[in-house]
Structure 1
């Protein structure tokens, strides 16, 4: 990720610290503070940063194929995370924004962001182990 405001990086770090501690309320609280300060665009920036953390370096040649076995049977938030991370991996900000807007409209954005934070932590832990 390039040209990410320091505040966005700080917010993403706070989300990850809370998720690592297993404190879902603090994860949601951090996103709430971001929305209060920077609106939904700010929360989107933090979510995009978390997706970047999950994916890591993406080849400059474009596209990435991600495999999510059983995704069609998963809950809304899990399907949302898979699609959002795929959008990031494929540098498809339009799809990422559409998914974010759909989660807002469906009233499920907090659940999706909490699952995204948990998935990011699980990915980091699997890389470390």
Structure 2
């Protein structure tokens, strides 16, 4: 998988990492966090998604969704949400949150919100309840 890491790391840029890598692995591959810098709100244990950008120690650009968006965010990114954040969606519990993450990991992320229909346990009614609360 390929990710882009930027911000307060020693060697920012585009990196190729093994599937299943986590944020901490990307930071390590980028030479680690610069001396005196703080990773900020990043969840260092979160699995990476192919093609994502990780911003270390800096606020996200205006209009973007932070990698570790709080559960209260109006629009939740399917490609970066944690299980706890997914569980905040209507009708999504622990099992369904895990299925969404497994789908994301298996398919290299969500290209569209409509792909939620392919996740086992999401029927038309549940899809209708959450489609406007998420983005790819």
Q: TM-score by structure 1 length? A: 0.28
- More helix as a share of residues: 1
- More strand as a share of residues: 2
Rg larger in structure: 2
Q: TM-score by structure 2 length? A: 0.27
